[in-house]
Amino acid sequence: MATSATKTRVAICALTYRRPQGLARLLNALAELEVRPEVALRVVIVDNDADASGATTVDDARERLAVPLTYVVEPARSISIARNRAVRESVDSDFIAFIDDDEWPESDWLKELLESQALTGADIVAGGVLPSFEIEPDAWVRKGGFFDRRRHPHNESIRYATTSNVLIRRVCLDLVDGPFDEAFGLSGGGDTHLFAQLREAGCSIVWCDRAPVQELIAKSRVSTRWLLRREYRRGQTLSLSLRARGMTPWLVLRRVGNGLSNIGLGALGALFGVRRGRVGVLIGIRRVNFGVGMLTGLAGVRHLEYRKVHGA
């Protein structure tokens, strides 16, 4: 039998900001997690609202959770600062699992992440995020798969991760200052930047296809405008991360070429996509926006996505 000294210590961390319903749903799901005897689990909630709007929701969930629950308020409005607070609160853990406050896992989520880590020895294990719509979207949304995220074969080595669904070996986070860069505090993308840094530092990343989480897609996100803005921001994030990690003239030239290529191919795709209707045109324009984002990101322009909260 595992003793407290030999157990694997895991902290599940989630940030929250004025999403009481989402936070309650997440905590209810965490209360149902399957936890093996050799795992010492705790939950850390960092409220990025200076008014501590999540306190009542957390207090209501304490009795349902059979593991320690830490709730702290990080008043500085910044997703990076809040993530760094979560890391500090989990300093005594062997692994940190991040999940968002508009997501919820199945009961075997953590077990599958840990199993992939044990089998592969990876430093970072990333899982999928499946869309669950607040209201049934128009047919074009599902037809275009605009909220479907890329998946990979189980336990395959990959080159990226996000904090939407990830398990990280805690000591890896000591390799990078921060570890989340505060420059990404309101724009988002600091997790993309962190995992790019960790991969360059030699940390390995694998994909666990057996541990997806559900994400509530708020009705305010189901629009052409939001989808185009998301691709623009995604392109920006990649280039802003490149700037922060250090650019050589060759890397700048390659990024400019990639940006222009995406703009050109996206414009052609939109033109020829007219026969597919709204879906075909939108796929092309999204690629244009991605390319534009790559170029503006190189210039240091930031879209501040996290000024607005989507969903409850």
Instruction: Give the residue extent of every domain in the chain.
Output: 8-219, 224-307
What's at 70, amino acid-wise? T
Six token digits for residue 183 = 């420059």
CATH code at 8-219:
3.90.550.10
Q: Are 67 and 43 in contact (CB under 8 A)?
A: yes
Rounded Cα gap, residues 211 and 306, in angstroms: 26
Round to whole Å and give the CA distance between 48 and 93.
Answer: 22
The whole-angstrom separation of Cα 308 and Cα 187 is 11
Dihedral sign of CA atoms 303, 14, 93, 76 in order:
positive
Contact 71, 48 (CB under 8 A): no
Q: How far apart are CA 18 and CA 88, in angstroms?
A: 22
Question: pTM here?
Answer: 0.92
Per-residue pLDDT of the chain (312 residues; tens, 9 = 90+): 556 668 999 999 999 999 999 999 999 999 999 999 999 999 999 999 999 999 999 999 998 998 999 999 999 999 999 999 999 999 999 999 999 999 999 999 999 999 999 999 999 999 999 999 999 999 999 999 999 999 999 999 999 999 999 999 999 999 999 999 999 988 889 999 999 999 999 999 999 999 999 999 999 999 999 999 999 999 999 999 999 998 889 999 999 999 999 999 999 999 999 998 999 999 999 999 999 999 999 998 887 776 655 555
pLDDT of residue 312: 55
Residue 259's φ and ψ, nearest 5 degrees, are -65, -50
The interaxial angle of helices 190-200 and 79-89, nearest 10 deg, is 60
Element (H, E) at 169: strand 165-169
